[in-house]
């Protein structure tokens, strides 16, 4: 396995004997253990290409530490370039989940207008994402019955949503008219 005057064996032996100390040095440079291992591996790859150029092998630790520092600096600079300075900060929108909870509450309420068989079909097909065949098997009915029941149930849900939307608009108009009358 030795090539060009034992270069590979010398480098492998050096890495085997100094690996723990070099990894500790890498850990001091970066806080994440995985990043430290990556840093050490990158430094070792870069050093391997120049191993013959290191005349005094007793300085190999210092050379490798310098390579790790330079590599860490390159990584840091690359991360810094991803940030773009701006005159104004963008508006930070925080999704508090209120709309999702309201939609879920509305859905649960509207499902209550369906017959139990229709509700079961809708929940299995759309909530549990079962196929028509799986839904039919789970409920003990034919696929045709699942399809027709689902069709009628979805039509009923659409109608209920439309009715509630109309009721909400009527309430808004009623409040507006009351406000106008009071003024």
Tens digit of each residue's pLDDT (9 = 90 or more) over 21-64 = 999 999 999 889 999 999 999 999 999 988 888 888 888 999 99
Residue bearing the bigger pLDDT, 39 or 86: 39
Question: Measuring CA to CA, how many Å separate 58 from each of 52, 55, 62, 99, 150?
Answer: 13, 9, 9, 66, 78
Confidence category of residue 111, pLDDT binned at 50, 70, 90:
confident
User: Mean pLDDT across the stretch 123-151?
Assistant: 92
Percentage of the chain lying above the pLDDT 70 cut: 86
């Amino acid at each position: 396995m030795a090539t060009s005057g034992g270069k590979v064996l010398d480098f492998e032996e050096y890495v085997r004997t100094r690996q723990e100390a070099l990894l500790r040095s890498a850990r001091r440079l970066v806080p994440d253990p995985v990043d430290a291992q990556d840093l050490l591996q990158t430094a070792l790859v870069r050093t391997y290409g120049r191993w013959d150029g290191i005349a005094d092998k007793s300085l190999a630790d210092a050379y490798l530490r310098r390579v790790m520092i330079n590599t860490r600096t390159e990584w840091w600079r690359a991360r810094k370039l991803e940030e773009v300075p701006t005159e104004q900060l963008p508006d930070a929108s925080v999704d508090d989940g209120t709309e999702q909870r309201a939609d879920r509450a509305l859905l649960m309420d509207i499902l209550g207008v369906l017959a139990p068989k229709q509700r079961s079909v809708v929940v299995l097909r759309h909530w549990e994402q079962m196929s028509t065949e799986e839904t039919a098997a789970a409920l003990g009915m034919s696929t045709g019955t699942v399809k027709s029941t689902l069709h009628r149930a979805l039509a009923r849900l659409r109608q209920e949503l439309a009715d509630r939307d109309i009721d909400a608009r009527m309430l808004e108009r009623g409040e507006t008219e009351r406000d106008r009358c009071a003024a």
